[in-house]
Amino acid sequence: MIIVMKKNAAEQEINAVAEKLQEKGFKVHLSEGVERTIIGAIGERTQAIMEYFMRQPGVEKVIPILQPFKMASREFKPEPTTVKVGDKIIGDGSLTIIAGPCAVEGREKLMEVALAVKEAGADMLRGGAFKPRTSPYSFQGLEREGLEILAEARKVTGLPVVTEVMDPRMIEVVSEYADILQVGARNMQNFFLLRELGKAGKPVLLKRGPSSTIEEWIMAAEYIISSGNEQVIMCERGIRTFEKYTRNTLDLSAVPLIKQLTHLPVIVDPSHGTGKWELVEPMAVAAVGAGSDGIMVEVHQNPSEALSDGPQSLMPDNFESLVTKVRAIHEALQNI
Ligand code: PEP
Ligand code: MN
């Protein structure tokens, strides 16, 4: 439930309400706005409890949170969550561009593409060391060696690293190398993994499941937040529909919806969202137009020889053109 304090509520009254909530077993979040304080409270809400808090000094009203997600909701926490990684802040109105190959394929290849995306204006480097492939016979990633290569690329380029963790047993080791832990679309409802990521102490990039509703996706974020980690970045990457020209159908309505329904930052992955490199730039532009906090795109120096996702990978010069366009759109929108 949400407890809205009166405009002139004294600090003592606010603290007293927060303490009483905690005594009754509620998790509490204080949002101190310019006008008034709003207290988000998660716990067993009964009519009697609501009436009890309604009677407390300084309380203006008590409103139940009707949505199934609580801690992720905008009502619970009206101010936007920001995620600081290196010198970038995701969710503060700036635009973060994450780029790199689908998979880390080897030391030299990764270094080359990492330097190229940095040169073109990327803020962070992506690359999978553990690859969730549809076929067990496809390239599965370089695993630990891939993580080491990513860490070396971070050192050389200064770009923070985003990489996927597929297994709760690997969280510790991936955390040693990565700045952001990615949950792949196929693992969005791996609830045990989500719970463990709640304790990881690192930001989590949560991709939308290929067949997930917005509500299921936010509930996945709720698992991570309620387990102790509010640093969650949502990533729209397309959903499965009847359409066959594209690999997935990129649902850009997710961007404003996530912003309305939650306080979390949201980015868009137009590479997996379309599966076709020619569609990546226009959809990245559209994503930024829709208010996305960032984009994540796959870049490869030689897409026709990529070990995974070549058809959706941009060449470095196409990526550079994308960066110029999305930054221009972002700036234009900020100046309106
Ligand atoms: C990826 O980003 O490397 C990836 C595997 O994407 P998704 O989980 O969205 O399919
Ligand atoms: Mn990929």
For residue 33, pLDDT beyond 90: no
- DSSP category for residue 164: E
Ligand nearest the Cα atom of residue 186: 1
Atom number, ligand 1, closest to the C-alpha of residue 131: 5
Cα 206 from Cα 217, distance rounded (Å): 8
The residue contributing the CA closest to ligand 1 atom 3 is 102
For residue 53, pLDDT beyond 90: yes
The residue contributing the CA closest to ligand 1 atom 10 is 185
Note whether residue 220 is domain-resident.
Answer: yes
- pLDDT (average), residues 130-139: 93
Average pLDDT, the chain: 97
Q: Are residues 180 and 43 in the same domain?
A: no
Cα 265 from Cα 55, distance rounded (Å): 36
Cα 333 from Cα 290, distance rounded (Å): 10
Report how many domains make up the chain: 2
Kindly state the percentage of the chain with pLDDT values over 90.
Answer: 97
Q: Are residues 195 and 303 in the same domain?
A: yes
Ligand nearest the Cα atom of residue 132: 1
- pLDDT (average), residues 82-88: 96
Instruction: Determine the distance separating the centroid of ligand 1 and the alpha carbon of 133, expressed in angstroms.
Output: 9
Within 10 angstroms of residue 202's Cβ, the number of other Cβ atoms is 16
Cα 63 from Cα 54, distance rounded (Å): 10
Element (H, E) at 307: none
96-127 pLDDT, tens digit per residue, is 999 999 999 999 999 999 999 999 999 999 99
Note whether residue 76 is domain-resident.
Answer: no
Q: Are residues 138 and 246 in the same domain?
A: yes
Note whether residue 74 is domain-resident.
Answer: no
Q: Are residues 160 and 273 in the same domain?
A: yes
Q: Are residues 175 and 27 in the same domain?
A: no
Query: pLDDT-derived band of residue 284, with 50, 70 and 90 as boundaries?
Result: very high
Cα 38 from Cα 26, distance rounded (Å): 15
Q: Are residues 95 and 213 in the same domain?
A: yes
The residue contributing the CA closest to ligand 1 atom 6 is 184
Pocket of ligand 1 (CB under 6 A): 102, 128, 132, 164, 184-186, 207, 237, 272
Which pLDDT score, from 0 to 100, does residue 6 have? 97
Note whether residue 268 is domain-resident.
Answer: yes
- pLDDT (average), residues 49-67: 96
238-275 pLDDT, tens digit per residue, is 999 999 999 999 999 999 999 999 999 999 999 999 99
Instruction: Determine the distance separating the centroid of ligand 2 and the alpha carbon of 16, expressed in angstroms.
Output: 50
Note whether residue 68 is domain-resident.
Answer: no
Give the type of residue at 280. Answer: V
Can you list the positions of beta strands (E) in 7-131? 27-32, 37-42, 59-63, 83-85, 88-90, 96-100, 124-126
158-185 pLDDT, tens digit per residue, is 999 999 999 999 999 999 999 999 999 9
The residue contributing the CA closest to ligand 1 atom 4 is 184
Q: Are residues 95 and 142 in the same domain?
A: yes
- pLDDT (average), residues 43-66: 95
Element (H, E) at 235: strand 232-236
Domain extent, residue 36, equals: 2-63
For residue 85, pLDDT beyond 90: yes
196-244 pLDDT, tens digit per residue, is 999 999 999 999 999 999 999 999 999 999 999 999 999 999 999 999 9
Q: What torsion do the CA atoms of 13, 70, 264, 40 make, to the nearest 10 degrees? A: 0
Which pLDDT score, from 0 to 100, does residue 23 have? 96
Note whether residue 205 is domain-resident.
Answer: yes
Instruction: Determine the distance separating the centroid of ligand 1 and the alpha carbon of 140, expressed in angstroms.
Output: 13
Q: Are residues 26 and 148 in the same domain?
A: no
Q: Are residues 117 and 40 in the same domain?
A: no
Instruction: Determine the distance separating the centroid of ligand 2 and the alpha carbon of 268, expressed in angstroms.
Output: 13
Which pLDDT score, from 0 to 100, does residue 35 have? 87
Cα 312 from Cα 125, distance rounded (Å): 17
* Domain end among 35, 63, 91: 63
Atom number, ligand 1, closest to the C-alpha of residue 238: 9
Asked if residues 118 and 111 have their Cβ atoms less than 8 Å apart, the reply is: no
Q: In what order do the strands lie in the sheet with 37-42?
A: 27-32, 37-42, 2-5, 59-63
Looking at residue 323, which CATH number applies to its domain?
3.20.20.70
Q: Are residues 229 and 261 in the same domain?
A: yes
Instruction: Determine the distance separating the centroid of ligand 1 and the alpha carbon of 333, expressed in angstroms.
Output: 29
| 64 conformational bin, left if phi > 0, alpha if psi -120 to 50, beta if neither | beta
Instruction: Determine the distance separating the centroid of ligand 1 and the alpha carbon of 44, expressed in angstroms.
Output: 37
Residue where the block lists tokens 């974020």: 221
pTM over the 0.85 mark: yes
Q: Are residues 133 and 187 in the same domain?
A: yes
The residue contributing the CA closest to ligand 1 atom 9 is 185
Ligand nearest the Cα atom of residue 275: 2
Ligand nearest the Cα atom of residue 313: 2
For residue 34, pLDDT beyond 90: no
Q: Are residues 167 and 115 in the same domain?
A: yes
Instruction: Determine the distance separating the centroid of ligand 1 and the alpha carbon of 226, expressed in angstroms.
Output: 24
Note whether residue 69 is domain-resident.
Answer: no
Element (H, E) at 226: helix 214-226
Looking at residue 15, which CATH number applies to its domain?
3.30.70.1140
Note whether residue 75 is domain-resident.
Answer: no
Give the type of residue at 316. Answer: P
